[in-house]
């Protein structure tokens, strides 16, 4: 039997026509790359110049341990071969860019890609930045992206670009004395509800947390007993939460299938999930569109479908939106191209009438987009981590993430802290 995606449908035709029209309008409006507020602060100091650009791989927490030693596999069929992400996988391979101006302003920006991304910044992007006015943030983004379009439209290059773009926005905020979210047009709110990924639900509720997400390291190859334990853990989280609050799951899947995901959603029906995240490979955009139709808002409404954590730039998200591959889009501002890309993605998503809930939206880097996007209802947060992660985490209160008051991203980063947590070539044995 054919899926809904392959069957002609008058209703589907007109629904998609409306979606495409909305997206086209969003793309047209996004050609104006600066807001009125951006124009004002960009014109204040045309003589400001970038003096130096540097970037460093950093150790963020125990997830970085896998970067320090080469794996030892037991044969070609070792299951760990399918799970190992290598030394440049996004979260463990975090980097911090440090950009300094001739007027003594230092901007910090987080990205990823480890030593390979640092090489891109040092050998490529730095030459487009030195001597430029850092307040021309969006123009510089366009120049950097286009300069690598034949080798870096996705992945490693964009993660490197994210670091320097975030550092430029940090400079702009510090130069004007404003938090980044105000440079993006401000927000009618000074806080947003957090959702806690991982950690203990009971402990989180005691701190006022109302929303939770459980990670499910499962796939179609998972043994039945392990799969049942994972399902039971989600149902137990719902029991601990009670009927109130949003509960979500994240499979972080690389090989999920549509039928497997539909079955999993059915088995988790009692958990009353708000969304299920990353049940398929990021490349399976057509499969995601089928999930939206079969279990998402336009189908049986078991749960909303979320993806985009591992997508890049407005161009990648344009594909997801046009295909109807998600109801909730989740750009990570340290991977997707930085705050400039995040702003454009948010505009695209809002115009299409969908939701944006940035991955790690409760971090200093994701919060400006979360605060200024009308459809965003929650910001992702994690239990306490290392000192450098804590320095990049905004204050929380009664289950909410608070908008920063300090200029730029409001982090507590210093150059000394970045160098203290720097991963050197000698540290890495891979």
Give CA–CA dist 93/83, Å, rounded.
Answer: 16
Asked if 101 and 171 count as a contact pair (C-beta separation under 8 A), the reply is yes
- Show the DSSP H helices in 82-129 as ranges: 114-120, 126-129
Give CA–CA dist 66/86, Å, rounded.
Answer: 8
Give CA–CA dist 300/333, Å, rounded.
Answer: 32
How open is the CA angle 107-131-113, to the nearest 5 degrees? 50
Beta bridge partners of 358: none
Beta bridge partners of 54: 98
**Angle, in degrees to the nearest 10, between helices 285-295 and 313-323:** 40
Asked if 411 and 392 count as a contact pair (C-beta separation under 8 A), the reply is yes
Active site residues: 359
The alpha carbon of 189 is separated from its chain's Cα centroid by a whole number of angstroms, namely 21
């Amino acid at each position: 039997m054919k899926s809904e995606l392959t069957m002609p449908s008058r209703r589907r035709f007109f629904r998609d026509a409306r979606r495409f029209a909305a997206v086209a309008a969003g793309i047209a409006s996004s050609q104006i790359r600066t807001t009125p507020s951006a124009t004002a602060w960009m014109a204040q100091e045309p003589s400001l110049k970038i003096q130096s650009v540097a970037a460093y791989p950093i150790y963020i927490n125990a997830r970085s341990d896998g970067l320090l030693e080469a794996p030892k596999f037991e044969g070609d069929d070792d299951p760990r071969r399918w799970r190992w992400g290598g030394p440049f996988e996004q979260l463990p391979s975090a980097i911090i860019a440090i950009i300094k101006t001739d007027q003594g302003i230092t901007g910090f920006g987080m990205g990823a890609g480890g030593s390979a991304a640092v090489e891109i910044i040092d050998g490529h992007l730095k030459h487009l930045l030195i001597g430029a006015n850092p307040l021309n943030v969006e123009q510089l983004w366009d120049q950097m992206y286009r300069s690598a379009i034949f080798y870096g439209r996705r992945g490693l290059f964009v993660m490197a670009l994210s670091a320097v773009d975030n550092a430029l926005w940090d400079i702009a905020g510090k130069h004007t004395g404003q938090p980044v979210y105000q440079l993006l047009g401000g927000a009618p709110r000074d806080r947003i509800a957090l959702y806690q990924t991982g950690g203990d639900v009971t402990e989180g509720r005691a701190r006022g947390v109302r929303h939770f997400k459980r990670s499910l390291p499962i796939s179609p190859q998972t043994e039945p007993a392990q799969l049942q334990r994972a399902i039971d853990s989600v149902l137990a989280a719902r029991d601990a939460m009670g009927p109130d609050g949003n509960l979500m799951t994240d499979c972080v899947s690389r090989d999920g299938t549509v039928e497997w995901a539909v079955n999993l959603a059915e088995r988790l029906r009692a958990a009353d999930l708000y969304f299920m995240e990353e049940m398929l490979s990021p490349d399976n955009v057509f499969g995601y569109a089928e999930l939206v139709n079969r279990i998402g808002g336009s189908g049986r409404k078991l749960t909303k479908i979320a993806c985009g954590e591992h997508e890049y730039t407005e161009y990648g998200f344009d594909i997801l939106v046009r295909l109807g591959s998600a109801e909730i889009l989740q750009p990570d501002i340290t991977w997707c191209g930085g705050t400039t890309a995040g702003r454009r993605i948010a505009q695209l998503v809002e115009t299409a009438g969908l939701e944006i809930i940035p991955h790690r939206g409760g971090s200093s880097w994701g919060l400006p987009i979360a605060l200024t996007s009308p459809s965003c209802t929650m910001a992702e947060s994690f239990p306490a981590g290392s000192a450098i992660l804590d320095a990049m985490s905004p204050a929380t209160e009664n289950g909410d993430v608070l908008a920063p008051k300090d200029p730029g991203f409001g982090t507590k980063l210093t150059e000394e802290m970045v160098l203290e947590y720097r991963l050197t070539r000698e540290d890495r044995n891979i």
